[in-house]
Structure 1
Amino acid sequence: MRTILFKASPSRSPTRSTPHRQTFSDTLMDENFENARELISKWDASRSSSLHCDVANLFASDNRYEAQQYLNSIKDLQIAMQYHISQDPTSDKLVLAQNLMEIAMKRLEKEFYIILKSRRQHLDPESVSRASRSSVSEFEDESEEDELSRVEEDSISEVELVSMDAMKDLKAIAECMIGVGYGKECVKIFKIIRKSIVDEALYHLNVESMLSLAQIQKMDWEVLEVKIKAWLHAVKVAVKTLFYGERVLCDQVFSSSPSLKESCFADITREGALSLFVFPENVAKCKKAPERIFRTLDLYEAIADLWTEIEPIFDLESTSTIRQQVINSLNKLGEAVRATLTEFETAISKFNSKAAVPGGGIHPLTRYVMNYITFLADYSGVLTDILADWPLTVPSPLPEAYFGSPVSADGTSTSSISIRLAWLILVMLCKLDGKAEIYKDVALSYLFLANNLQYVVNKVQKSSLKLLLGDEWMEKHEEKVRQYASNYERMGWSKVFAALPDANDNQMTTPQVTDCFKRFNSSFEEAYNNQASWVVSDSKLRDQIKVSVARKLVPVYREFYGKNRQLVARKEGIVRFAPDDLGNYLSDLLFGAGGSGSSLSLSTSSSASSFSSSSGHSRGVRSR
C-alpha cells in the first residue's frame, strides 16, 4: 500500500504593500519638477534684500528667452502639483513644490514691480494710448531678427514698441500669477503704482482734489476763472489720454480676469475722476452773474463734447458713480445757464437809468445787451441742448407780429435758442422805447430809436445771430429802421418843407415871395441849429437820411429860388441860402458834437455867398 506524505502548509505571513511602480507620467512629472526647481532657484528673489532692486532682471531684453522658459516652468510645476494631489495628497513632493511655487511667485511679484517702475516712462498714458492702436498679442518668444524687423516698421515708433513689450510682459506675469492663485498680490502692486501715477498726472494738470464747494464759493471771480481755464485744458488731457490710457492698460494686463481688470481700473481712477468731474458742479452752484455765463457754457460744452469718450471709458458697473457725477455736472451747469439767462432778462427789464444819450446815439444798454447776445449765439449748439426743455413763458400777451418769432427757410419753427435770443432782443427794444420818451424833441426820439435798432440789425447781420434769427426777422427790423428814419424826417423837417410854396403856385407877389424866403430861412436855421449835435452812428443810415431830406428839399427850393430870386434881389438879407448851400449844410449834419462847430445866425448882414463859404470851410476841417 502507497503511503502518501503530505507537507504541512506553511503559515501565512502578514500582508505587505506592494512597492509603487513608477509610471511614465510619474517620470514626466518628476522631470518637470526638477527643471522648474533648477530655473526657479536660479532666480530666487530671497537672495536680494529688497523688492526694489536686484542684480539682474528676469524680463530684461537679454533674458527674454529665459523669461519665457521661467513662465513655462511655473505652468509645468502647477501641472505636477495637481498630478501629485490626484495620486498621493500626502506626498512630500507637494510640500517641496509648494515652497518652490512661493519662491516663483515672489520672483514674479518683484519682476512685476520692476517693470511698472523702470518702464514707467513707456507706460505713461500717452504711450499706452498710442500703442493701443496696435494689437497686443500673447507673450511669446521673439528672436533678435523678429525684434529687428519690428523696429524697422514705419508705422510703429520706438516708444510704442517699448510700451507694447512692457504691456506684454505685465500681461504674461499677471496671467501666470492669476492662474496659480496669486492674483491678489499682483493686483495690489499694480493698483498702488498706477494710482500714484494717475494722481500725480492730475496734480500736474492742476486738478485740486481737496477743493471744496465752500472754498470755490469764497473765491474771487478772477481766481476762479483761472481755475476754470486750467480745468478746461485738464479735462481734455485726462479723458483723451490719462483715463483712456489707463483703461487700455488695465484691459490688456488683466484680460484673463474681467473682475480684476474692472476692479483695478475703478480703484485707480475713481478718486481722481470724481475730483475732476465734481468741479463743474461746484462752479455751477456759485453766485450767478451775467458775465459768468460764458465760462459756465465753456464747462458744459467741454463735458458734452467729451461725453462720447467718457461713457465707454467708464462703462463698468464699478465706475457708474463717475458717469453719474458727469451727468450731475451737466445738469447743474444747464440749470445755472437757465438761471443766469433769467437774471439777465430781469436786469434788462429793471434797467433804470434816466440819463439821455447825447444826440440820440447808441445807448450803453444796447451795446451791452447786443454784445452779450452775440457771444451767446456762438454757443448755439450747447444752448440748444440746455434750452430744449425750457419753453419761453411770455409774462404778458403780445401780438405775434410784434414779437417777430423767427422762422426757418422752410417755414418751420426754429430752435429754442433762436426764440430765446429773439425774445431777449425784444425785451431790450421795449426798454429802449421807454428811453426814447426821455427826449423832449419827438424827432430826436425817433432818431434815437433808428440809431439803436440799426445797431441791433448790424450786430445780427455780422454775427451768427443772422443764421439763428433768419432773413424774415432781418427784413422786419430793417423795415422798422426805415420807419423810424421816416418819422424823424417828418417830425424834424416838416416845418422846413411847409415853408416852401407848392410847385404849382406860379402867381406869387413880391411880398409873398419875401415872406416865403423869410419863413424858409427861419425854419431851416432852426432845424439846422436844433440838429447840429444829433448823431447817426451808422454811416450808411446817415447818408440815406440826408439824401432823402435833400431830395425832398433841394429841388423844390432850387425851383423856387430860380423863379423868385430876382424879385427880392435888391432886398438885403432876404435870400440867405443858395440851393447848393442847402446840400452843404445837410451834409454837415448828424455827425454829433455840434456838427461843424458853428451855428446858423439870423443876422441880416449875412449873405448866401458867406454861408456857402462858411459851410465849405467847416467840411474841409472835418475828419470823416
Structure 2
Amino acid sequence: MPRKGMRSIFYKSSSPTPAPFPTLSDSLMQQDIETAESLITKWDYSTHNYQSTPLFSGPRQEAKRYLNAVKGLQSAMQHLITQDSSSNTLVRAQSLMQLAMNTLEKEFYTILSSNREHLDPETVSNRSSTDRRSSVSVSDFDDEISEDEFRVSEAERVSMLAMADLKAIAECMISYGYGKECVKVYIIMRKSIVDEALYHLGVERLSFSRVQKLDWEILELKIKTWLNAVKVAVRTLFHGERILCDHVFSEDSAKRIAQSCFAEITKDGAMSLFGFPEIVAKCKKSPEKMFRILDLYEAISDHWPQIESIFSFESTLSVRSQAVTSMVKLAEAVRTTLTDFETAIQKDSSKKPLPGGGVHPLTRYVMNYLTFLADYSGVLVDIIADLPESPLPESYYRSPMRGENAPGSELSERIAWLILVVLCKLDGKAELYKDVALSYLFLANNMQYVVVKVRKSNLGFLLGEDWLTNHESKVREYASKYERVAWSKVLSSLPENPAAELPAEEARKCFVRFNAAFREACRKQSSWIISDPKLRDEIKVLIGSKVVNRYSEFYEKNRVGTEQVKKVSPDEIGIFLSDILYGNGIGDSGSVSSHSSSTPSSPLRRR
C-alpha cells in the first residue's frame, strides 16, 4: 500500500472537530437571556439609561414582561448548569440575575415608601377578606382593577394595586433566593409605620418605677389614652399589618417568612401596649382606682378574640402571653381591692349620730360604689370566681340558681353580702340615737336609699325582684315603727273612743294635752328628715290620716263648750304636718358634710 494512503488512515482525526449543531432548547435559552438582558439593563438603576419613572409605576404590561424575563432567565441558568456550569454564558446570566434582583429590591422599597398613605393599616384592614385578596393575585396583577367591577374608592384601588405589586416582587425574589433582601426592606419600612402610629396613639414604654411616681390624675389620663389606643391598635393597626403581611408573603413557600416579618414589625409595639395594664395593676390600690382597673381588664377581654387571632403565630406567643398576664394581674388587683373595700366598711368607726336621721355618708358611698361596680358585671363574673365564698346567711339571700353554677350567681351574692355588711353597720349607728323614733326613721331612710339605688341600676338585675321585695318591706316596717313611736304620745292624749262626748272639763284637759303633744311632736320632727320625697309623702299621709281622723271625731263631739281653750283645728293639722321631716335647714347635704371624716372622702369617678 502507498505510504500516503497509510498516513491518511492513521492521521485523519488530527483535523478540528466541527461544533455540534445548536438544539432548539439552546436557541430558546439564548433568546431568554437576550430578552432578559434587554429589559434588565433598560431598568438598571445604576446606569444613565435608567428610566425616571419606576418600573412598577408605569404600564403594568411592562412590569409583567420584566418579571417574565427574570423567570426566563432563571430557566436559562438552570439549563446552562446542566450543560456547562463554568461557561461564560452562565456567568453573564448570573450577573444579569443579580442586577435584576437589585432592581426589584429598589422597586419593592419604592412601592412601600411611595404608598405609605395607601398602605396604611386602616385602608388595608377595611378591605374585605379573601375574595378581594385573590382578585389581585400574582397571576393577574398586571390587569387594571376596575372600579366599576369592585366598587371601591380610589384610595382602596391604589392600595390593592400596590399590594399586588409587592406580592409579585416578593414571590419573585424569594423564589430565586433573594428573600433575605426583600424581607429586610419590608420589615424596616413597615415597622417604622407601626411604631409611628403607636407613638401618635400615645403608647409609651413606661417602667413601673415611673408609673408608680405619677399622680393619680396623670395616670388616669394615661389610662384613658391607652383605652382609646388599644381599640385602634387591635382593630386597625395590627389587624391591617397582619392582612398586608399575609398577602405580600402568601405563597406556601413564604408562610414562615410572613410569620417572621409580622413578629418583627409588631412585637415591640404590642408588648409595650399590652404591658401597660400590668404595670398599672401593680401600683398602689384604692377603691376609687378600681373602676379604671376594670376598664383596662374589660378592654383586653373584649379584644382578646382579635388579639388571639392576629398574634396566632408561634413567633408572637410572647404578645399573647403578655396580654394574658396583664389580665391576670388586673384581676388580682380587683379582688384585692374588693376585699379591702369590705374591710373598710366593717372598720368604719364613726360614733356620732347623724343629725335628722338622714342617709348616712357610708350608705351613699357604698351604694354609689356598688352601682358603678354593677356596670362591670360582665367581667366581674369571671374575676370574682376565685374569691372565697361570702358568709351570707341562707335566710338573707341565696341565688336560686346557686346549685346549678349559674353565671353571675357568685357576683350577686358578693354584692348582696357587701350590702348586708353596710346595713349591719347602720343597725349599730341607729343605736346611737337617744330617741327611738329617730333611730327607726334613720333606718327607714337608709334602707330606702339602698332600695332605690338597687332598683334604678344594674344592681336590680343582679339581686332580683325577691331581694327588692324583701327590702322594700323592711322600709315599710321601719317607717311603721317610726310612726307608731313618734306619734304614740299624740294619739294617746285623745280618749280611747274619740267619738264619745266627754264632760266639758275633761274635754278641755284632752284638748290641752293633745295641743301640747302635737306641737311638741311637730317641733321635734321639724329637724328630722326623710330624704326620699315619695317616702316622705307616704309617711306624712299615714300620719295625717291617723291623727286627723281621730282628732276630727273628738273635735266635732267636744268643741262646743270648750271655746275658751286654745286648740288646733283639724284643718290646721295638715298645715303643721307640712313643715315636718324636711330637716329644718339641716338637709342631707349638711349632714353628709358634717360626717364626711368618718367615711371614704374621695369622690367616685367613672369613665
Give TM-score scaled by structure 1 length.
0.88
Larger Rg: 1
Matches within 5 A, 1:148-167: 150-153=146-149, 155-167=151-163
Aligned match of 1:175: 171
The answer to whether the 8 Å contact 1:405/1:422 transfers is no
**1:513 CA displacement:** 2.5
Alignment equivalent of 2:280, drawn from 283, 287, 293: 283
**Structure 2 contact 445–531 (Cα < 8 Å) conserved:** yes
* Correspondence 1:362 to 2:359: yes
RMSD over aligned Cα atoms: 2.4
Counterpart among 337, 343, 348 of residue 340 in structure 2: 343
Would the alpha carbon gap of residues 406 and 485 (structure 1) be closer, same or farther in structure 2, given more than 3 Å must change? farther
Structure having greater relative contact order (Cα 8 Å, sep ≥ 6): 2
Name the counterpart of 2:105: 109
Task: Give the TM-score normalised by structure 2.
Answer: 0.90
Q: Which residue of 2 aligns with 1:592?
A: 583
Change (3 A) 1:408 1:22: same
The reply to whether residue 216 of structure 1 matches residue 211 of structure 2 is: yes
Match of 2:543 among 549, 552, 556: 549
Q: Determine if the alignment matches structure 1 residue 518 to structure 2 residue 516.
A: no
Match of 2:573 among 560, 582, 587: 582
Q: Which residue of 2 aligns with 1:226?
A: 221
Q: For residues 70-89 of structure 1, give each alpha carbon's deviation from its aligned partner in whole angstroms, at most 9, with x where no partner exists.
A: 10011101101101111112
Q: Is the 8 A contact 1:45 1:103 kept in 2?
A: no
User: What's the counterpart of residue 560 of structure 1?
Assistant: 554
Shifted more, 432-441 versus 282-291: the winner is 432-441
Give the Cα–Cα distance (whole angstroms) in 2 for the partners of residues 140 and 449 of structure 1.
Answer: 80
Structure 1 unaligned runs (5+)?
596-624
1:446 has 2:437 as partner? no
- Amino acid paired to 2:545: R
Match for residue 608 of structure 1? none
Moved over 6 A (4+): 4-8, 408-413
Task: Report the count of equivalent residues.
Answer: 577
Give the Cα–Cα distance (whole angstroms) in 2 for the partners of residues 341 and 427 of structure 1: 13
Q: Is residue 81–residue 94 contact of structure 1 (8 Å, CA) maintained in 2?
A: yes
Q: Is the 8 A contact 1:443 1:491 kept in 2?
A: yes
- The aligned residue for residue 381 of structure 2 is 384
> Structure 1 CA distance, aligned partners of 2:262 and 2:511?
94
**1:253 and 2:248 correspond:** yes
SS at match of 1:152: helix
Correspondences of 1:62-77 after superposition (within 5 Å): 62-77=58-73
Q: 176-185 or 338-347, which moves further after superposition?
A: 338-347
1:193 to 166, 184, 189: 189
User: Within the alignment, does 1:466 sit opposite 2:463 as a pair?
Assistant: no
Residue in structure 2 matched with residue 404 of structure 1 by the alignment: 397
Q: Which one-letter code corresponds to 1:314 in the other structure?
A: F
Q: Which amino acid aligns with 1:388?
A: A
Q: 1:7 & 1:558 partners in 2: Cα distance?
A: 169
Please say if residues 298 and 379 of structure 2, whose CA atoms lie closer than 8 Å, have aligned partners that are also in contact. yes
Equivalent residue number for residue 236 of structure 2: 241
Deviations 1:337-358 (A, max 9, x none): 1111111111111122223222
Secondary structure, aligned partner of 1:566:
coil
For 1:20, the equivalent position in structure 2 comes to 20
2:312 is aligned to: 315
AA at the equivalent of 2:41: S
Give matches, 1:80-159, under 5 Å: 80-133=76-129, 134-136=132-134, 137-140=136-139, 147=144, 150-153=146-149, 155-159=151-155
Identity of paired residues, percent?
A: 57
Aligned to 2:46: 46
Contact kept? 2:437, 2:486, Cα under 8 Å: yes
Residues 539-577 of structure 1: CA distance to partner in whole angstroms, max 9, x if unpaired?
1111111121222222222112222222433xx33x512
Distance 1:505 1:225, change over 3 A: closer
Aligned to 2:597: none
8 A contact 2:440–2:481 mirrored in 1: yes
CA contact (8 A) 2:390 2:414 kept: no
1:57-98 Cα offsets, whole Å, 9 max, x none, are 0111x3321111110011101101101111112222111111
Q: Give the SS at the match of 1:47.
A: coil
Q: Does the 8 Å contact 1:290/1:341 carry over to 2?
A: yes
One-letter code of the match for 1:473? W
C-alpha distance in structure 2 between counterparts of 1:278 and 1:48, whole Å: 52
Query: Partners of 1:68 and 1:361 in 2: how far apart?
Result: 84
- Secondary structure in structure 1 of the residue aligned to 2:46: helix
Could you tell me how far apart the structure 2 residues matched to 1:416 and 1:187 are?
Answer: 52
Counterpart of 1:607 in structure 2 is none
